[in-house]
Structures are given as structure tokens and as C-alpha cells.
Amino acid sequence: MNTISTILGIFFRFIYDVLSKGFPEPKSISFFAITIIISTFIIRVLMLPIGISQMRNQKKMAELQPELEKIQTKYKNDPQTLAAKQRQLYKDANYNMLSGCLPMIVQMMVLIGFYRVFYEPATYVFKEPGLYDSIAKNFFYIKDIDLKDTTLILPIVAAVTTFLSSWITQNSTANKASQTAQSQSMMNTMTLVMPVMIFMMGRNFASALVLYWTVSNLFQVLQQLIQNVIIKREVEGV
């Protein structure tokens, strides 16, 4: 993770330097906060190929749904045979169920990397002595996003965007197609639990990290909405 944090730190500093040397800094939002937003957006764009791969797998799962329902109905009282038939169906269709986890794994690795960057900015980004302490770090109503948001506004927004991201993904055509009753119940629980966890963590983490998570969620919501429309049209043959 140290390597990821080092790379993110170099990337972050590059964007910050471009902004600070080329533009006057706004009073309401610091270049530090703007850099978080821009770097998050760029990272999510770079992750789009993973999202596209996930979309293709979602489309394939939606196409497999009719056959999957037949298997589930036929072998509903024989769990072992049902599992074997499902695995064979996925294998024949060249569908990889684990591919849906890849974007979340990558996102969590980036999140951990950013956590280290924001926890030790003088180590990974602003290495010059005293530089980090001298720069502005305000974000509208938050005077210093290196600190916790005591108003809890940003943690609440992070929790809400986490719920939206999970709910939209959970209710996509492909996800509904791939879920059993048990997995659907588990996902419904996670959709409710994750926002609470994010809120609790957001209360204790630096606002900079919470801002990153919120912007990332908003990008994910937009991306998933677009993917859902594309998948629905392609499956319906529109």
C-alpha cells in the first residue's frame, strides 16, 4: 500500500502545483480541496475500463436470466445440483461472477492509499518543511479539511451518496438477475449497513478523505445510471 500512496501523492501534488501556479486561489474553496475533487474524478475516469468490463458482465447476466430462472425452479429442492448447474451455465457463457467485485476492490485500495496520503501529507505530497502547514485547506464551510467535520454535514452526505450508489447498483437489471433470495437479502442488508458505517467512519476521519469518498460515490452513481440504461436497451434490443 505504501507504493500506491506514493504514486497517489505524486499525482496529487502534480495537480495541486498546476492549479496553484496557474490560477488565483478562490476564497471559498482551497486548491487543496479542488485537487481532491479533480484527482478523484481523474482516477474514476481511469477506472472506467474496469467499469465497462463490469457492464459487459452485467449485460451477460441479464441475458442469462431466463435460463437461470428455469434452473432455479427445476432444482429449487436440490441445492447442490442447483449450484452445479449454475456454475456450468456461467462457465458455458464465459461469465465470471468475481468480476463484479473488482471495481470495489480497486476502489478500496485507492481509498486506503488516499487515507495514508491524507494522514501523512508531509510524507507523500508536501515534502518541503512547513509547506503543508502554510497552505489553505478550507472547503466552503469547513475551515480545514485536514480535520473532522464537526457539523457532520459531509459525513451525512457521504452516507447518503453511499446509499444511492449501493441502491442503484443493487436494483440494476443485471444484479437482480444474478441474485438468489439469500444473496438479495444479504445485499439489502449491506445497502442499509454500509451508509451507517461510512457515517460513523466519516465522523472520525479527516474531512479530506470523506470528501474523496463523496465525490467518488457521485461519479459511481452517474456511471451506474448510464450503465443501467445501456444494458436495458441492449438486452431489450433497442
Residue 105: its pLDDT value, please? 80
Neighbours of 237 (CB within 10 A): 5
In this structure, what C-alpha cell is assigned to residue 3? 507504493
Looking at per-residue pLDDT, the higher value among 207 and 79 belongs to 207
Between 206 and 108, name the one with better pLDDT. 206
Instruction: Determine the Cα–Cα distance for residues 192 and 189; give it in Å rounded to an integer.
Output: 5
pLDDT recorded at residue 133: 92
> 189 versus 204: which is more confidently predicted?
204
Residue 114 has pLDDT above 80, yes or no: yes
Q: Where are the alpha helices (DSSP H) in 47-138?
A: 48-74, 79-92, 102-119, 121-124, 131-134
Q: Which residue has the higher pLDDT, 133 or 223?
A: 133
Give the model confidence (pLDDT) of 134-183 as tens digits: 999 999 999 999 999 999 999 999 999 999 988 887 776 555 555 555 56
Percentage of the residues of the chain whose pLDDT score is greater than 90: 44
Report pLDDT for 63.
77
Helices (H), ranges, the chain: 2-22, 31-46, 48-74, 79-92, 102-119, 121-124, 131-134, 153-170, 173-178, 181-204, 207-236
Pairwise pLDDT comparison (184 vs 235), residue with the higher score: 184
pLDDT band of 220, cuts 50, 70, 90 = confident
Task: Give the least confident one: 90-94, 129-133, 175-179, 189-193.
Answer: 175-179
